[in-house]
Structure 1
Amino acid sequence: MTSSVNIGDLGLRERKRRRTRSSLVAAARRLTLESGLNGFTVEHLCDEIGISRRTFFNYFPSKEDAVLGSTAEELPEEILDDFVASGRTDPPTPLIDALTELFAEFGSRLTISREEYETMSAVLHREPQLMPRLFARAEAKSQLLIDLIIAREGLPADSPTPGVATSVLAGLARRSLDEFFADGNELSYPDVIRRNIDALRYLFPSSPPEAASGLPASNQDPS
C-alpha cells in the first residue's frame, strides 16, 4: 500500500509542476504580447521563470507550444472508456446524451480564467501564425472523438456520422466557451454547453434510425 507520506509528496510535486507550467505559459504569452514571437528566446523565457533550458523541454517541445499552453487536463482513460461502454448498455444511452456528458466533463476541467482567455485571444490576434498549431491540436482531439464514436456505435470507418457529430459538437463547444467568458455570465461551462446542445435538440428533435448506418435514408432498403 502507498503510505500517506508518499501521497502527500506526490500531491506536492504535482502542484509544483502545475505552478511551473502555468508560470511558463503566462510568461510566454506576456513576452509575445510585448515583443512578438521573434522577440524572445527559450533561454530568455527560462531566465524569466528561473528554470533551466532542460527543465523547459520537460514541459513543452517549443516556445510556440508554451505560448499556446493548455486549457484543460486530458480526460482520464476511464471516462473515455465509460463513453464507449454507454453505447452497449441495455438500453444504450443515446449518442447525443453521451456526447453531452463527455463535453460537460471536459468543460468542467477547464483551467483557463477569463483573463487568460482574453490574453490568448490577444496573442492570436498579434501572432496569427500560431493558428495552424492550434488547429492541429483541435484536429488531433477531433480524431480521437471520431474514433471513440466509431467504437461506441460500431460504425464503419468511412461512415460520415462520427465526423459530422464531432464537427457540430466542436462548434458548439467553441461557442459555449465564448458565452462562458462573456461579461455577465453566471453559468458554469457544463451548464452552457448543455443549454446549447438542448438548442440543437430543438432544431433536430429526432433522427431516423437509418442515419446510424452512414447512408442517406433514401438509400435504405425499406423491406
Structure 2
Amino acid sequence: MYFVQNSAKNEDLGLRERKRRQTRSSLVAAARRRTLEHGLGGFTVEQLCDEIGISRRTFFNYFPSKEDAVLGSSDEGLPDELLDGFVASGRTVPPKPLLDALTDLLAEFGARMAISREEYEMMSALLHREPQLIARLFARAESRSQLLTDLIVAREGLPADHPTPRVATFVLGGLARRSLDEFFADGNDLSYPDVIRRNIDALRYLFPSPPPEAASGLPAPNQDPS
C-alpha cells in the first residue's frame, strides 16, 4: 500500500529514471549502428550526441568512451539480495554444496538477463567488425570473475589465495559463456537456466564426488580460517 500511495515526487523520480534509461538505450543503438556501418573510426562522439540530441557532457555521464557505448556497458550492479543469499547459503546447517549454490546463482542471473537474440547476433557482428572491442569485453568479464571469486572466498571461509575459488570461477565462467552460445543457437527451445543447469549436470557426471582435501594445511570449505 505504501507504494500505491507514494508521493508525486517519487513518481517524478520514476519518470526521470525511465528517461535516463531511454537515453542510454538510444545511445547504444546509435553507436552500434554507426559502428556496423562505418567502423569505430567512422564517427565521433559529437556526431553521436547530435543524432540523439544531447550534449557531449551528457554523453560522458552515461559512458566513459565511445567503445563503452557500443558495448552497452551498464552502471547497474548485480542485485545485492542474490549475492548476499549466495554467501548466506554457506552458513546454513548443513551448508548448501558450493556447486549447487553456484548453479542457482548463475541460473538466476541468466533468468534476469536482458538481452535478445537480435542483440546477441548484433554483438557478434560488432566483435567481428571491430576485434579490438574484445579486449574491453574481456576486461569487463574479468571484473565480474573477480567478484564471483571474492564471493566464493567469503562463502567458503577460505584464504584469499586458496585455489578453489579461482578454479570454480574459471570453470563455471566458461560454462556460463558456452551456455549463452547454446541458448541463442538456432533450434534451441530451452531457457538459459535450463541450458546452464544441463551443462553443470554434465560437469557433475565428470566429477561425481568431491576431491579429497589437499594435504596443504589450508582450511576446508566453510571452515573458519582463524
TM value normalised by structure 2: 0.88
In structure 1, distance between residues paired with 2:175 and 2:161 = 24
CA-CA distance at 1:26 after TM superposition: 1.1
- Alignment correspondent of 1:38: 41
- The structure richer in helix per residue is 1
Which of 120, 130, 135 in structure 2 is aligned with 1:132? 135
State the Cα deviation string for residues 76-113 of structure 1 (Å, max 9, x = none).
Answer: 12211111111011010110111011111111221111
CA-CA distance at 1:208 after TM superposition: 2.9
Q: Which runs of 4+ in 1 moved over 4 A?
A: 211-215
- Alignment correspondent of 2:194: 191
- Alignment correspondent of 1:81: 84
- Alignment correspondent of 1:169: 172
CA-CA distance at 1:188 after TM superposition: 1.5
Structure 1 residues 211 and 114: alpha-carbon distance in aligned structure 2, compared to 1, 3 A threshold: farther
Unaligned segments of structure 2, at least 5 residues = 219-226
Structure 1 residues 47 and 165: alpha-carbon distance in aligned structure 2, compared to 1, 3 A threshold: same
> Which amino acid counterpart does residue 76 of structure 1 have in structure 2?
P
- Alignment correspondent of 1:18: 21
- Computed over aligned residues only, the root mean square deviation of the Cα atoms, in angstroms, reads 2.1
Structure 1 residues 72 and 57: alpha-carbon distance in aligned structure 2, compared to 1, 3 A threshold: closer
> Which amino acid counterpart does residue 115 of structure 1 have in structure 2?
E
CA-CA distance at 1:183 after TM superposition: 1.4
In structure 1, distance between residues paired with 2:47 and 2:134 = 23
Contact 1:71 1:110 in 2 (8 A): no
Unaligned segments of structure 1, at least 5 residues = 216-223
Which of 93, 98, 104 in structure 2 is aligned with 1:95? 98
State the Cα deviation string for residues 151-172 of structure 1 (Å, max 9, x = none).
Answer: 1001111111111100111111
CA-CA distance at 1:209 after TM superposition: 4.8
> Which amino acid counterpart does residue 54 of structure 1 have in structure 2?
R
- Alignment correspondent of 2:203: 200
State the Cα deviation string for residues 172-193 of structure 1 (Å, max 9, x = none).
Answer: 1111111111112222211111
